[in-house]
Amino acid sequence: MIAETLLNISFVSILGVKIANISRCDAIKLMEQLIQQEPGSTRTIFIVNAHTLNLAVENPEYRDVLNCANKVFPDGTGVRCAARLRGTILKNNLVGTDLIPEFLSATSNRDYRYFLLGADAATIARAAQVATERFPGWQLVGYHHGYFTTEETDSIIEQINSAQPHLLLVGMGNPKQECWLHAHQHRLQVPLGIGVGGLFDHWGSNLKRAPLWVRKLGCEWIQLLLQQPHKWGRYIIGNPKYIIRIIFSLN
């Protein structure tokens, strides 16, 4: 049984998604508690930003998938501002690009195993190499790219299960990664699955992190937009849409 009561977690609902207000330190403790569960049905953690919440408004089924997670963590200025307007000051920004490396470093040398799923074949191979070097205290037991067909799903699940990871990181973007984990969590024999978005692109060097001062200003999205101009609609149209939705959903 998880001793979640020992952790300080409250919740704030933003655009119908129940988001955990939890410190970085408690988030790491919770993640370790979850990976110590008997593998049976995979517990999930999803990390949502303004774009994820826009998708959830536009697709109620996706919103329900998010709400089925064991926990939903907040990522970014958009979520922080929305929470504040609802009277909640979020303890931490739990962007996966920072949280996952911190978690792997904080829980090293405990015989934990992990598996990476997502990104294109070349990127995930590079990401796997970088992760192996950067996190020697965790055993990387396998990886697979995220561009597979429905017919290939069974064999990928078999590959993951036979590698017996404690942690499955899935980086296939929103909403695919959350929907995939939700659809297959009962067949995956992995204690914890986390949706990590573009993490493997960072590890595989496709994307550069913004400098710390830009991240602190809450402007990392500008750096991402400059590197991925095809995502302009998400930011130039999506951000104003998100602001309007946040204001009009206040009551």
Q: C-alpha angle 179/43/125, rounded to 5°?
A: 65
Residue 180 makes contact with ligand UDP by CB under 6 A: no
Interface residue with ligand UDP among 165, 193, 197, 238 (CB under 6 A) is: 197
Interface residue with ligand UDP among 78, 118, 165, 193 (CB under 6 A) is: 118
Interface residue with ligand UDP among 142, 146, 191, 238 (CB under 6 A) is: 146
Residue corresponding to tokens 């598996």: 115
Q: Minimum distance between the CB of residue 197 and ligand UDP, rounded to whole angstroms?
A: 3
Interface residue with ligand UDP among 16, 39, 173, 218 (CB under 6 A) is: 173
Residue 232 makes contact with ligand UDP by CB under 6 A: no
Interface residue with ligand UDP among 172, 181, 194, 246 (CB under 6 A) is: 172
Total binding residues toward ligand UDP, as defined by CB under 6 A: 14
What DSSP element (H or E) covers 251?
none
Q: Minimum distance between the CB of residue 2 and ligand UDP, rounded to whole angstroms?
A: 27
Task: Assess contact for 171 and 198: CB atoms under 8 A.
Answer: yes
Residues 6 or more apart whose CB falls under 8 angstroms from that of 251 comprise none
Residue 201 makes contact with ligand UDP by CB under 6 A: yes
Task: Assess contact for 9 and 84: CB atoms under 8 A.
Answer: no
Interface residue with ligand UDP among 21, 33, 88, 174 (CB under 6 A) is: 174
Interface residue with ligand UDP among 32, 98, 102, 120 (CB under 6 A) is: 120
Segment near ligand UDP (CB under 6 A); pick from 18-26, 38-46, 80-88, 114-122:
114-122
Segment near ligand UDP (CB under 6 A); pick from 24-32, 86-94, 135-143, 197-205:
197-205
Give dist(CA 74, CA 20) in Å, integer: 7
Residue 147 makes contact with ligand UDP by CB under 6 A: yes
Cβ distance to ligand UDP smaller for residue 135 or 180: 180
Q: Terminal CA-to-CA distance of the chain, rounded, Å?
A: 37
Cβ distance to ligand UDP smaller for residue 30 or 119: 119
Q: What is the DSSP string of 102-159?
A: HHHHHT-SS--EEEEEES-HHHHHHHHHHHHHH-TTSEEEEEE-S---GGGHHHHHHH
Q: C-alpha angle 167/95/235, rounded to 5°?
A: 125
Residue 238 makes contact with ligand UDP by CB under 6 A: no
Residue 110 amino acid letter: R
Is residue 69 exposed (0-12), middle (13-18) or buried (19+ Cβ within 10 Å)?
Answer: buried
Residue 78 makes contact with ligand UDP by CB under 6 A: no
Site residues (vs ligand UDP, CB under 6 A): 118-120, 146-147, 171-174, 176, 197-198, 200-201
